[in-house]
Amino acid sequence: MNTNPDSGAGRRVRVVIVDDHTIFRSGLKADLDERMDVVGEAGTVEQAIAVIAESRPEVVLLDVHLPGGLGGGGREVIAGSSALLGTTSFLALSVSDAAEDVVSVIRAGARGYVTKTISGKEISDAVIRVADGDAVFSPRLAGFVLDAFGTAPADIADDELDKLSARELEVMRLIARGYSYKEVAKELFISIKTVETHVSAVLRKLQLSSRHELTKWAAERRLL
């Protein structure tokens, strides 16, 4: 993963970790590098909403599956913190990898999704990227997007939400192939910032698309 010089040396990102496994929380805390401060932790939906409202972090590392609340897990935490969505970004963490879970938490407002097996360096980079307002796509999420939106590009003039542009498709495809943002940028002769713009655009489409097939598709595709 690329380092992000924009984040500045002096700036520290305030992070809240939400996961019901204490061991995982402490491991993740140790994994995050010196660029971020963990200002809060929570293990249930109710706790998470309270801690987030109180500490107002820039980034919430959010487990998709959480006990408590109405059973909605991470989705419910985002919904419960919707007033803060402007200042707080959510990065979904999951072991499940099930399309339904991932897509639902993204559509609820998360800025990205990574698997829990991710390395400490990668998770730190992902947190910084989310804090900068960009989206974080794992190869698998990119695969979901390609599967859900189809691999046919939209017409150039078409700015509809249900299709990806040719360029967005290229970016998604490269991410699915395991390319980092930097490698994507190099491959397509564009800047990293442009890659991030494309990814954010895809994220927006993923969140806003009214395409009912998207939900249906995710529900059908439980396996992964």
Partner 1 sequence: MTTAVQRPALVRSSDRMIAGVCSGLADHLGWPVKFIRLGMILACFAGGAGVAFYAWLWTMVPTADESAKRNARRPASPIAPAVSLPPTAATPARASTAYDAGLSPAVRGVPAASGASAPGGQASGSTHGAGSASGFGATSADDWWGGSALASWFSFRKIQYGKEILLGAALLLVAAILIARQFGVDVPLGTLIPAAAILGGAAIAWMQLDETRRAGLVDKTKADQAGGWVRLAAGLALVVAGVLVMVSGSGSWEQTWLALLASVAVLGGVALVLLPWGLKFWKDLETERAGRVRETERAEIAAHLHDSVLQTLALIQRRAGSEQDVVRLARAQERELRAWLFSDAARESGLLADRIKSVAAEVEDSHGHAVEVVTVGDTQMTDRHDALVQAAREAMFNAARHGGGTVSVYLESTAGSTEVFIKDRGPGFDLDAVPDDRLGVKESIIGRMKRHGGSAVITSSSDGTEVRLTLPSATVDAGDQRNNDVRNGEAKQ
Under the rule (CB under 8 A), what is the footprint of partner 1? 97-98, 117, 139-140, 142-143, 146-147, 150-153, 166, 169-170, 173, 176-179, 183, 187-189, 222-224
Q: What is the C-alpha separation between 43 and 217, in angstroms, rounded?
A: 30
157 CB contacts (<8 Å, ≥6 apart)?
A: none
- Please, what is the angle between helix 192-208 and helix 166-176, to 10°? 100
Q: Nearest distance from residue 51's CB to partner 1, in Å?
A: 30
CA separation, residue 89 to residues 3, 100, 224 (Å): 19, 21, 26
Nearest approach in angstroms of CB 177 to partner 1 is 4
Provide the β-strand partners of residue 59: 15, 89
Please state the closest distance from residue 178 (CB atom) to partner 1, in A.
3
Residue carrying structure tokens 């599967």? 147
Burial of residue 106 (number of CB atoms within 10 Å: 0-12, 13-18, 19+): buried
Residue found under tokens 């309270």: 50
Residue 174 beta carbon to partner 1: minimum distance, rounded to whole angstroms: 8
Work out how close the CB of 73 gets to partner 1 at its nearest, in angstroms, rounded to a whole number.
16
Complex with partner 1: residue 72 or 150, whichever CB lies closer: 150
Name which of 101 and 134 has its Cβ closer to partner 1: 101
Pick between residue 100 and residue 132 the one whose CB is nearest to partner 1: 100
CB–CB of 52/8 below 8 Å? no
Q: How far is the CB of 112 from partner 1 (least distance, A)?
A: 16
Length of the chain: 224
Q: Are 166 and 128 in contact (CB under 8 A)?
A: no
Secondary structure class of 8 (helix, strand, coil): coil
Q: Is the CB of 132 or the CB of 153 nearer to partner 1?
A: 153
Which residue matches tokens 């061991």?
23
Q: Of 41 and 125, which CB lies nearer to partner 1 in the complex structure?
A: 125
Of the pair 132, 170, the CB lying nearest partner 1 is at 170
The smaller minimum CB distance to partner 1, of residues 90 and 137, is found at: 137
To the nearest whole angstrom, how small is the minimum distance from the Cβ of residue 151 to partner 1? 5
Q: Where on the phi/psi map is residue 68: left (φ > 0), alpha (ψ -120 to 50), or beta?
A: left
